[in-house]
Amino acid sequence: MARIGVFICHCGENISATVDVAKVAAAAAKIPGVVHSVDYKYMCSDPGQQMVSSAIKEKNLTGVVVAACSPRMHEPTFRRACAEAGLNPFLCEMANIREHCSWVHEKGEATTNKAIDIVRTLVAKVKKNKALLPIKVPVTKTALVLGGGIAGIQASLDIANSGHKVILVEKEPSIGGHMSQLSETFPTLDCSQCILTPRMVEVAQNPNITLYSYAELESLEGFIGNFKARIRKKARSLDEKLCTGCGLCCQKCPTKKIASDFDAGLGMRPAIYVPFPQAVPNKPVIDREHCTYYLKGKCRLCEKVCPTQAIRFDQADEIVEVEVGAVVMATGFDIKHGDFFPEYGYGNYRDVIDGLQFERMASASGPTLGEMRRPSDGKVPEIVVFIACAGSRDPAKGIEYCSKICCMYTAKHAMLYRHKVHHGKPYVFYMDIRAGGKMYEEFVRRAIEEDGVQYIRGRVSRIYERGGKLIVKGADTLLGARPMEIEADMVVLATAGVANPGAEALAQKVHISYDSHHFYSEAHPKLRPVETNTAGIFLAGACQAPKDIPESVAQASGAAAKVAALFSQDELIREPLIAVVDRQAPPLYSTCVGCFLCQTSCPYQAIEKEEIRGRDGQLIKTVAKVNPGLCQGCGTCVALCRSKSIDIQGFSHEQVYAEVLALLNRGESDV
């Protein structure tokens, strides 16, 4: 038999000014099951809480209703008071007679009656409440970081420095990402490699970080605190333990004319190569698609010259299985390439290049050793046109969003060009200049005012070749859409930042959501920007949306802080307000019919399949099972379940039906 205590708060005069609290207390006392009903000036004060806890002990209460303010205000206070008095905290409910009653209605009988209705509703609910225990989930204190660009590096270092193990997986032979390709960085113009490479070395030397380069995620199973990842280590074709990184093999390799991805196709590399001299790890890989031995069955020159006999032609991919407690997605972005801009002749004219190619050209370690030499004939370009928003903010091209970094890097490119070719003339075609950020606007002004970059507001309609020059046809919309024609030696397109080609497949592998452009979705656009909807998986850097370096680093540190907070405890403790699937004694086992409508509707992939087997191992039925680590307690599955086999603790069918009936003043006899 229920023994409910009702505690009605005056909240000073906040409630008692419009609600006749004594009348509410008297009415509550008459509700079946209520054995104690009092009112008090400040229920949340120490003496008020004391009233609750002594009543629990003296009257042996089985449930408590505090009629006061919103549960969002003081539910934790009173649940704690109940727990201290020995009553399960989930047997305490708040009846909101302040925000939803006394404050919003005039003084009078109707208001008091509504307060009574609310109390009666919550009494009916609390009678159906069940004692719940917090859910404890063990935590494996190792993080998996996918992607070794600046975001992945920062996240790995931050997590490792907080004392936890990190497994960093990078698909390229070296970590460093796009940042390692950049020449200088805005708005300070410090050299990208100079600030990045020490971090890369730190990653290699940190005892808490295990680095798998030239590796990719094969699969990820499990849930927060308890993931199992399989990582494919692609065959480097050499023994990494023996290789010293001397580089003799790369020098001797006879196949030298392979377009280098790292140099954005402007430079060449051999078939056995490290992407760039400061690579971490500094161990080569053999590109089997171009290596003469793999193509023709002979050569093996690298094997002959290797002083430590590290070359392994027969090496196969290796699968490594690891257990991790959290995952940071830091897989970065790509830029639009190829035939995306036929009107600009991109891919057709060799002197129409993209931003990354310009970066390599401007880089002291790049194919031109930092000299401005156009790809077609190696001449120094005298007139260069930079086109911002090449693809971005262009719904006709299917990219509505702003790529965010291009305004800044275009200003930087134009500036760098002027610093290298003093007599050169840079033009920038732009739609708007978006230079929001610390020292960003000043940087753009500097490009215009000090370095004489000519900014033209307008779009370029066409680029074509005439007599060795690139004719750029556009319009200056600030001069009444006056048509412009510039005879350029080179054109640089600030092509749109897009998701990596493999982003969608990877998201499906790790079960996180992504937007229509395949950028990964954060759990809340404002308040949970580094979490995904899948508990335990976090986001860092440009895999979420195009971002510059400071933002990527900030988000990576944010994600690392989330991981460190998760790892600061041995067990995760979560509120048990989650869904549960009905289980019964044999021969029924469960009312679940196994339609798995719940599984398709669950936003958190929290529904699993459970096979019920008899003693002989024979499959009896397959039913749904809620993973308590993943369920967030939205209850969408509960409303959808055809056989009413899934219910949510704290908002169960019994509870809400009892509430509806009580609210409409129908007793339990009506159920």
Partner 1 sequence: MSDFEPKIVAFVCNWCTYAGADLTGTNRMKYSPRVTIIRFPCTGRIDFMLLLKAFANGADGIIVSGCHPNDYHYSSGNFHARRRWIVFRGLLDFLGIDVRRVQFSWVSAAEGAKWAQLVDATAEQIRQLGPFSGYHKLRGAGVE
d(CA 228, CA 124): 44
DSSP letter assigned to residue 269: E
Residue 271's Cα: distance from chain center in Å? 36
Does residue 651 bind partner 1 (CB under 8 A)?
Answer: yes
Does residue 99 bind partner 1 (CB under 8 A)?
Answer: yes
For residue 251, the SS3 value is: helix
* Interface with partner 1: number of residues (CB under 8 A): 49
Contacts with partner 1, 339-378, as mask; x by CB under 8 A = ----------------------------------------
Q: At closest approach, how far in Å is the CB of 113 from partner 1?
A: 8
What is the number of H-type helices and E-type strands within the chain?
Answer: 17, 34
d(CA 482, CA 474): 9
Q: Which of 56, 491, 560, 661 binds partner 1 (CB under 8 A)?
A: 661
Footprint of partner 1 on 66-85 (CB under 8 A):
70-72
d(CA 581, CA 484): 69
d(CA 464, CA 470): 6
Question: Based on CB atoms, which residue is closest to partner 1, 111 or 213?
Answer: 111
Question: Based on CB atoms, which residue is closest to partner 1, 235 or 663?
Answer: 663
Question: Taken in order 504, 508, 509, 510, is the CA torsion positive or negative?
Answer: positive
Question: Taken in order 409, 413, 418, 420, is the CA torsion positive or negative?
Answer: positive
Angle at 175 between CA 170 and CA 177, to 5 degrees: 95
Q: Which of 20, 39, 117, 351 binds partner 1 (CB under 8 A)?
A: 117
Question: Based on CB atoms, which residue is closest to partner 1, 112 or 357?
Answer: 112
Does residue 523 bind partner 1 (CB under 8 A)?
Answer: yes
**Which residues have C-beta within 8 Å of that of residue 458, sequence separation ≥ 6?**
429, 474, 475, 476, 477, 478, 481, 484
DSSP letter assigned to residue 312: -
**What angle do the packed helices 150-161 and 549-567 form, to 10 degrees?**
30
The one-letter amino acid at 490: M
Footprint of partner 1 on 543-582 (CB under 8 A):
577
Q: At closest approach, how far in Å is the CB of 627 from partner 1?
A: 16
Q: At closest approach, how far in Å is the CB of 645 from partner 1?
A: 13
d(CA 613, CA 635): 28
Q: At closest approach, how far in Å is the CB of 519 from partner 1?
A: 16
Does residue 648 bind partner 1 (CB under 8 A)?
Answer: yes
Stretch that binds partner 1, among 65-73, 207-215, 287-295, 619-627 (CB under 8 A): 65-73
Question: Based on CB atoms, which residue is closest to partner 1, 100 or 419?
Answer: 100
**Which residues have C-beta within 8 Å of that of residue 588, sequence separation ≥ 6?**
none
d(CA 187, CA 439): 6
Q: At closest approach, how far in Å is the CB of 35 from partner 1?
A: 25
The one-letter amino acid at 255: T
Asked if residues 75 and 94 have their Cβ atoms less than 8 Å apart, the reply is yes
Q: Which of 10, 114, 141, 425 binds partner 1 (CB under 8 A)?
A: 114
Does residue 389 bind partner 1 (CB under 8 A)?
Answer: no
Question: Based on CB atoms, which residue is closest to partner 1, 96 or 193?
Answer: 96
Question: Based on CB atoms, which residue is closest to partner 1, 69 or 286?
Answer: 69
Does residue 669 bind partner 1 (CB under 8 A)?
Answer: no
Which stretch of DSSP H or E encloses residue 219?
Answer: strand 215-223
Which stretch of DSSP H or E encloses residue 109?
Answer: helix 109-128
Q: Which of 278, 292, 376, 632 binds partner 1 (CB under 8 A)?
A: 632
For residue 433, the SS3 value is: coil
Q: Which of 111, 156, 180, 192 binds partner 1 (CB under 8 A)?
A: 111
Q: Which of 312, 601, 610, 612 binds partner 1 (CB under 8 A)?
A: 601
Q: Which of 3, 202, 653, 654 binds partner 1 (CB under 8 A)?
A: 653
Question: Based on CB atoms, which residue is closest to partner 1, 21 or 311?
Answer: 21
Q: Which of 639, 642, 643, 668 binds partner 1 (CB under 8 A)?
A: 639
Residues lying near partner 1 in the complex (CB under 8 A) are found at 70-72, 96, 98-101, 103-106, 110-111, 113-114, 117-118, 121, 513, 523-524, 533, 577, 601, 603, 632-636, 638-640, 648, 650-651, 653, 656-657, 659-661, 663-666, 670-671
